[in-house]
Structure 1
Amino acid sequence: MSDLDEIRRKRMAELERQQAMNADQNQQQAQQHMQQQQMQQEMEAQKKQILIQILTPEARNRLSNLKLTKPEFVQQIELQLIQSAQAGSLRGKVTDEQLKVLLKNVSGQKRDINITRK
């Protein structure tokens, strides 16, 4: 029975090594995930600071309300505003009325799809 005990011992050692390797991989993945989350939070904070600088409080309020219903659309608008500010094409803060015009222009670019049944 010593052969059977030897096989069990080898198998047990192999399983322990695999488990240790899996634990290391899981720990590395968790660290990478935390780093990605931290970088994303920092980028969001920077974006928020820039928007505070280039938007009036009313315009920021309008964007935050719109973000609840159309987050992808607002993200596109925010990116466009930040790029305009970095390019220097904005003079002063963007007001609520200017933001409304921008929203109409961007939303007007989308195609309306109508389906009619006969």
Structure 2
Amino acid sequence: MAAGYEDEELEEIKRRKLAELQRKMEEERQRRAQIDAALRQILTPEARERLANLRLVKPELAQALEEQLINLARSGRVKIPITDDFLKRLLAEIYEQTHRDTKIEIRRK
């Protein structure tokens, strides 16, 4: 009898975990849809394509950049639509900042 109760309890835990996972996935899907809608409004098609390519290779960087671009656009600090050229310059600046301190010294004996 106790095993049946434990099985039911385990199944209830599984159902709750599954429901929570589904809720989180739906929230993430809605968040992604909102971001994509905002990006369609503020980026040219070429800039969106570049950002999508970046998302494939550097998802964390792309996510941070998306948030920054949306914030810049909302605050009026950038001209809309944001072009691919502007995005390339921005990415070059980010690359320069993140790789500025990287120096390789070769010492000869």
Q: TM bucket by the smaller chain?
A: 0.7 to 0.9
**Partner of 1:89: helix, strand, or coil?**
coil
2:96 to 88, 105, 108: 108
How many pairs does the alignment contain?
106
Are positions 1:96 and 2:84 aligned together? yes
1:49 to 31, 34, 37: 37
The structure 1 segments of at least 4 consecutive aligned residues displaced by more than 2 Å after TM superposition are: 111-118
Unpaired runs of 5+ residues, structure 1, are 1-12
Is the alpha carbon distance of 1:16 and 1:94 closer, same or farther for their aligned partners in structure 2, counting shifts above 3 Å? Answer: same
**In terms of Rg, which structure is larger?**
1
- Structure 1 residue 115: deviation in Å? 7.4
**Percent identity between the aligned chains?**
32
Are positions 1:39 and 2:30 aligned together? no
2:66 to 62, 78, 84: 78
User: Could you tell me the TM-score, scaled by structure 2's length?
Assistant: 0.87
Are positions 1:66 and 2:27 aligned together? no
Relative to structure 2, which stretch is displaced further, 77-86 or 40-49?
A: 77-86
